[in-house]
Structure 1
Amino acid sequence: MADRETPGDAARSDRRPLDGIVVLDITRVVAGPFCAMLLADLGASVIKVEHPDDPDYARGFPPMVGGGDAGESAFFTQFNRNKRGISVNLKSPDGKELLKQLVRKADVLVENFRPGTMDKLGLGYDELRRCNPRLVYTAISGFGRTGPNSSRPAFDNTGQAVGGLWSMNGYADRPPVRVGTIIGDLAASLYATIGTLAALRTAEKTGEGQVVDVSQQDSILTLTENAVVRYTTRGEVASPLGNDHPFVRPYGQFPCKDGYVFFGGYTDKFWRLTCEMFGEPEVADDPEIDTMDKRFDPDVAERRVKPLLERWFSAYGKAELEAMAGDRVPLSAIKTIPEVVEDPHVAARNMIVEVPVGGETVRMVGSPIKLSMTGEIPLGAAPAPGQHTRSVLAELLGLDDEAIRRLAGSGAI
């Protein structure tokens, strides 16, 4: 069968949507760097601004590649590829002035300091908008720029804790468990990217920039699915359910011969197809489990449905079950990271990409954003601290070597 053509394939372009947009990235670790990297992947010229004596400490996060003094962090690269790097001391008078000059040439500034920090430096939004009224000022923090908790320090776990997600995750007979990734940082970065793009669109139309205010707590709260409306309408408090869903059954993890699968065949259509798939079509007409509503009952699900599925699945391995289900039934292997990295479908989606790190090539996560009119995103290395200071200052501000030497001598860069 011929490959399915993607709309716009014939007119694909190497030009990317954010070509010409200049972004100043003064963030650290992940909540912020990931947002700026997504903008870079979409074509923006992202300039990572770091203190000359105190660069982003995520540069020391494992795994390190290259060995010795030349070792570089693959973790850091995964959130900072495709950027240029400059060194600016935002505490020095010359450094403050230099940032203002850069802001005059920029479209976006992304920061993830605690609210008030930039104002104390004399570089808050009100000051920077005087330099550039069109500036989109994207601020990511634990609790946002308003509200009684805005000045509190926060990490990813803070967002999971105060956003409600931590209280819902785990098993009913055990203490709650954090989600096994930095989902607070990542979710905040994703919302910040969406907000930045919306604000850029407004700035294009009106000539006015604005603050994009994103908090980890707010971002996590939006990921709690039905927990809020269950509480506000019925007074139900979401609690850990393990791999179960609060009302949809069967819908969860089931053991098989060589691991586990996710099975979500809870509708009458999928249930009947599943019974046929395992050679027992008559089960679909069993009067105790023949409708979706009956299978939703917790007692029926535990007593009748779960044992039936475990009996069926236990005779097969993950790959066999996926092949049997094919395009008919929602059944997927619960894959380990090695299995995902080597997954042919993931490869077809170009989701594992090769990026230079520490003199080597490292496979890491690619971009999930696929645009029909835009070619594949070229991926460059993350910058070394201050690697592009001279070229950026010369290109954007027109500074000559003597001016750059003076800035270095004053401790501004």
Structure 2
Amino acid sequence: MEKEKALKGLKVVDLTSALSGPFCTMFFADFGADVIKIEPVTGDQCRTWGPLDEESGESGFYAYINRNKKGCTLNLKTEEGLQMFYDLVKDADFVCENYKGGVTKKLKIDYDTLKEINPKLIYVSGSGFGQTSPLSDRPCYDIVAQSMGGIVNLTGFTDTDPVKVGPSVADHVSGIYQMVGALIALHYREKTGKGQLVDVAMVDTIFSLLENAIPNYTMTGVIPERNGNIDPSISPFDIYHCKDGFVAVGVGNNNLWRKFCNVLGREDLIEHEEYATNELRSQNYEPELKKIIGDFVLNYTKKEMENMMADAGIPCGPVLNIEEAINHPQIQSREMMVHVEHPTAGDMYFQGVVPKLSETPGTVEEPSPLLGQHNREIFGLTEEEEKRLQELGVI
């Protein structure tokens, strides 16, 4: 028996593009909300982002984050297009957008305008710098947010230039924050009947991820610098070279330290004056303790290290490339890779749904929409009306 979708019955008018906003509305769609993705007549910019299917030209990137959505086109700079948008907003639960600050007001689609049409509307705004800041009108991409939020300067090794985190963490986590904010606002609306504005900035998002770097500075006055793979507050906590690659090991407390020393065959280190506590280990990790552990790990394969550490109850895992990660039993058993049949690109294989809900699970059932695929359905158009609006540049 098919289980109910938790967000079924909610209507989301989706004006987002690129990554941050579409990642938010992807969650809505995966859990059953009716997500109407509105694109300019030229399409979302990420339709051109690789990888592109050789025959159809469809973007795998676009397909992943826009699955389960219905798609239409609309020129909001035309009077008729704007009115068609307002008609969609009248009974919408959410409007989601990720324009830079000031753009929505110029287009007459800002929260203050739309709440007059629909007072219960929850308006989710994602941008680089937020709606209320000195930089709110600036454009932003993930690399800029990572840099200004402080995470780039903490990524890399002491003797290297700053490095951005590989995936677009500012976009992805901002999208998650947008979704969290939207659901908080929905809960409030259920109690009061009132909608509200949810304002998420990518720079704020990155800043919130700096964890102990902030109190380290505010409590000591020392500006944290790049430390490679180690954690300045926990030791040993590093990535080590083994026979056939690398493994990550985390020893986060004294109980784990005792177990770890037993595995190393170095019980003498347990109460060693330089390593007996986590604070001491963090202070004295380099160079000697790091070398002791590194020399030990070099004698084993990734699998051997993983098994030894697992038997002892010590957190450890191999460093996997993308192919290895996709095919790992952990990923496969959690349905974190799914197949979807796209109308022009054929079989597409990408990430599944992360939160596993026992009664109302999210699923990936429909491919991303072709450009303007659902124009008639969404706007209630006949074939003749669709052609007229296309000729006028409205859709």
Deviation at 1:18, TM superposition (A): 0.6
Q: 1:183 to 1:288 in 2, by over 3 A?
A: closer
CA–CA distance in structure 1, aligned partners of residues 209 and 283 of structure 2: 26
Match of 1:308 among 280, 292, 301: 292
2:2 is the counterpart of 1:18:
no
Show the counterpart of 2:314.
329
1:48 partner SS? strand
Show the counterpart of 1:7.
none
**TM superposition score normalised by structure 2:** 0.94
2:238 is the counterpart of 1:252:
yes
Question: Which amino acid is 2:21 matched to?
Answer: G
CA contact (8 A) 1:94 1:410 kept: no
Deviation at 1:296, TM superposition (A): 2.4
1:64 partner SS? coil
Show the counterpart of 1:8.
none
Question: Which amino acid is 2:324 matched to?
Answer: E
Deviation at 1:167, TM superposition (A): 1.5
Deviation at 1:289, TM superposition (A): 3.0
CA–CA distance in structure 1, aligned partners of residues 338 and 289 of structure 2: 41
**TM superposition score normalised by structure 1:** 0.90
2:382 is the counterpart of 1:382:
no
2:79 is the counterpart of 1:90:
no
CA contact (8 A) 1:83 1:382 kept: yes
Q: Deviations over 1:55-110 (max 9, x none)?
A: 10211111112x33x22111111111110001111011000000000001211011
Aligned-residue Cα RMSD (Å) equals 1.8
CA–CA distance in structure 1, aligned partners of residues 196 and 277 of structure 2: 52
Deviation at 1:284, TM superposition (A): 2.7
Q: 1:291 to 1:231 in 2, by over 3 A?
A: closer
1:220 partner SS? helix
CA contact (8 A) 2:84 2:379 kept: no
2:177 is the counterpart of 1:177:
no
Deviation at 1:281, TM superposition (A): 3.6
Most deviating of 203-212 and 28-37: 203-212
CA–CA distance in structure 1, aligned partners of residues 364 and 234 of structure 2: 42
Show the counterpart of 1:339.
324
CA contact (8 A) 2:30 2:362 kept: no
Question: Which amino acid is 1:294 matched to?
Answer: L
Question: Which amino acid is 1:35 matched to?
Answer: C
Show the counterpart of 2:46.
58
Show the counterpart of 1:158.
144
Q: Deviations over 1:217-257 (max 9, x none)?
A: 11110011112222222211121111121232111111111
Alignment of 1:6-405 (within 5 A): 14-52=3-41, 54-65=42-53, 67-68=54-55, 70-298=56-284, 301-326=285-310, 328-357=313-342, 358-375=344-361, 377-394=363-380, 404=386
CA contact (8 A) 2:352 2:364 kept: no
Q: How many residues align?
A: 393
Question: Which amino acid is 2:308 matched to?
Answer: M
Question: Which amino acid is 1:187 matched to?
Answer: V
CA–CA distance in structure 2, aligned partners of residues 406 and 257 of structure 1: 67
Gaps of 5+ in 2: none
Show the counterpart of 1:5.
none
CA–CA distance in structure 1, aligned partners of residues 221 and 149 of structure 2: 18
CA–CA distance in structure 1, aligned partners of residues 269 and 174 of structure 2: 46
1:249 partner SS? coil
Gaps of 5+ in 1: 1-11
Percent of aligned positions that are identical: 36
1:139 partner SS? strand
Question: Which amino acid is 1:271 matched to?
Answer: W
Q: 1:122 to 1:312 in 2, by over 3 A?
A: same
